[in-house]
Amino acid sequence: DAGVIQSPRHEVTEMGQEVTLRCKPISGHNSLFWYRQTMMRGLELLIYFNNNVPIDDSGMPEDRFSAKMPNASFSTLKIQPSEPRDSAVYFCASSVAHPVEKLFFGSGTQLSVL
């Protein structure tokens, strides 16, 4: 199994541009999570899906952020327009539901907004 696959690995963009981060979860996993990691705020849960349905998006910072999961093997996190304060490492993780949440993380996307 290739694990959770995220792309791109690194993204450098200018303020105001649209950014799309992609994630392919592990086959057979039915939960998918998007986390953001920064030095200041640590690891924050942005949104998670069960069976492709968004369950909790209370961590999404604002309307500039949106996430979709059109099928069980693909998810996107979009930032439009991007701002310098969005610079962070964005992780996607997947798991098989309950009761023990063994999350498998991707390698992350390092986003720099100039």
Partner 1 sequence: GEDVEQSLFLSVREGDSSVINCTYTDSSSTYLYWYKQEPGAGLQLLTYIFSNMDMKQDQRLTVLLNKKDKHLSLRIADTQTGDSAIYFCAESIEGGGNKLTFGTGTQLKVEL
* 6 φ, ψ (degrees, to nearest 5): -120, 145
Minimum CB–partner distance for residue 15 and partner 1 (Å): 25
The one-letter code for the residue type at 66 is S
Nearer to partner 1 among residue 63 and residue 100 (C-beta): 100
Nearer to partner 1 among residue 21 and residue 93 (C-beta): 93
Nearer to partner 1 among residue 69 and residue 106 (C-beta): 106
SS3 content of the chain, % helix, strand, coil (to 5): 5, 55, 45
The one-letter code for the residue type at 38 is T
d(CA 83, CA 64): 9
The one-letter code for the residue type at 1 is D
Residues near partner 1 (CB under 8 A) are 4, 31, 33, 42-43, 45, 48, 50, 55-56, 91, 93, 95, 97-108
Minimum CB–partner distance for residue 74 and partner 1 (Å): 18
Minimum CB–partner distance for residue 43 and partner 1 (Å): 4
